[in-house]
Structure 1
Amino acid sequence: MMKKILLFTLISVLGYTHVSAQDILFGAKAGLNFASVFGDNTDDYETVTAFNYGVMAEIPISDSFSFQPEVLYSGQGYSFGDNTVALNYLNVPLLAKYYVVKGFSLEAGPQVGFLLNTNDDGLGIEDDFDTVDFGINLGLGYKLDNGLNFSARYNIGLTDIDDIEGFSGTNKNGVFQVSIGYFFF
């Protein structure tokens, strides 16, 4: 399913030849993540707060539709008791944006994340996580005429992030993200 979504997105963007380089916007963004893990044996897991930051582009497809690829550092993870497990990813969301009215958009699309490193407070589970994470983003955005923009989205993890020998459960990332960004014209 994920391969079909990525292929459709790629064909849609590459198949649209009317976009000129001057129509494409490039920008940077930063914000906060409120992250946890959901699945088996996660009832005691709590949310951790971390940062996200990176670069983005907006490629107009029509007056109402745009394609927004991003490359983001994303601090994620979870806590339980006095322990925190930090999972730091390089995420690549590929978002379709639909402008409901001028400036206000609905956003959705797939994401692939690459685990950069972990910090497990000395629990000894640093090597027990898959290095690739797939997810789906759903969110809202607002872009001002001056390039300043705001977004709120939720990333629903699709991949079991655990790679623990002998553990048959499934655990997935769940991240609520708020960001502020700026498009350079």
Structure 2
Amino acid sequence: MKKILLLTAVALFAFTTAQSQEFRIGAKAGLNVASLGGDSYYGGLGSLGSRTSFHIGGLVEIPLMGKFALQPELLYSSEGSDWSFGTLGDNTKLDYIRVPVLAKFYIIEGLSAEAGPVFGVLINAEGNYYNADDDFVRGDAKDIYKSFDAQFGIGASYRLNMGFFFSIRYNKGLLSVNEEYEVDGYRYNTGKNQSNVFQLSAGYSF
């Protein structure tokens, strides 16, 4: 009987503690500074530079026990890189629908640290590739990049009392985004490059 009462008390405490936080819905947008980390193209020659773009979407914050919360998001995130090799160049554009699922811990009121997996589905890709005639061309490159991607995100947010918030986050790629392809017996896109992105965001939640 004592064990049942103790478990009931713990459950009630957890419930009331969770309810002390607020369930929130919000929207956010901001700056992406993205790059493809890992192997460089053409046997390690050239350089993979950063590409500046944006992200936009919505989120919900679900209170858990104590100072913890869960924050799933749904974002449109434009990523990729700028690549240079002599006179050649390749501004690779990779557009994803991203679903971060982040655990949040409130350090003090308004200030939280966050970390968790970030899943992605590729919806658009533009870049340079070799076509069936073995010509180096630019265009729709979705077939030479994988449709699914995963990152690990870590960052922090600060929310003002009126609902506006600001956040900083770094998403480290966990999987290679490249999809190998073959033209005239030669295999291209064989490097293993991950999509990494640094994000600065502003938003509003209520």
- TM normalised by structure 1 equals 0.84
Query: Is 1:61 aligned to 2:76, yes or no?
Result: no
Query: Is 1:128 aligned to 2:144, yes or no?
Result: yes
User: 1:48 and 1:116, CA in 2 relative to 1: closer, same or farther beyond 3 A?
Assistant: same
Counterpart AA for 1:95: L
Q: How far apart are residue 83 of structure 1 and its match?
A: 2.7
- Pairwise mapping of residues 9-158 of structure 1 onto structure 2 (< 5 A)? 23-41=22-40, 44-81=47-84, 82-120=89-127, 122-123=137-138, 126=141, 127-158=143-174
Counterpart AA for 2:191: G
Counterpart AA for 1:33: N
Cα RMSD for the two superposed structures: 2.0
What are the Cα deviations for residues 106-163 of structure 1, in whole angstroms up to 9, with x where unaligned? 1000011000101216435702000000110000110111111111000001111000
> Aligned pair count?
168
Distance in 2, matches of 1:72 and 1:113, equals 9
Distance in 1, matches of 2:172 and 2:154, equals 8
Distance in 1, matches of 2:170 and 2:23, equals 25
3-state secondary structure, aligned to 1:23:
coil
Distance in 2, matches of 1:130 and 1:171, equals 11
What are the Cα deviations for residues 22-57 of structure 1, in whole angstroms up to 9, with x where unaligned? 931100000000000011116601100011000000
Counterpart AA for 1:116: I
- TM normalised by structure 2 equals 0.76
After alignment, is 86-95 or 120-129 more displaced? 120-129
Structure 1: give runs of 5+ residues left out of the alignment: 1-15
Moved over 3 A (4+): 16-20
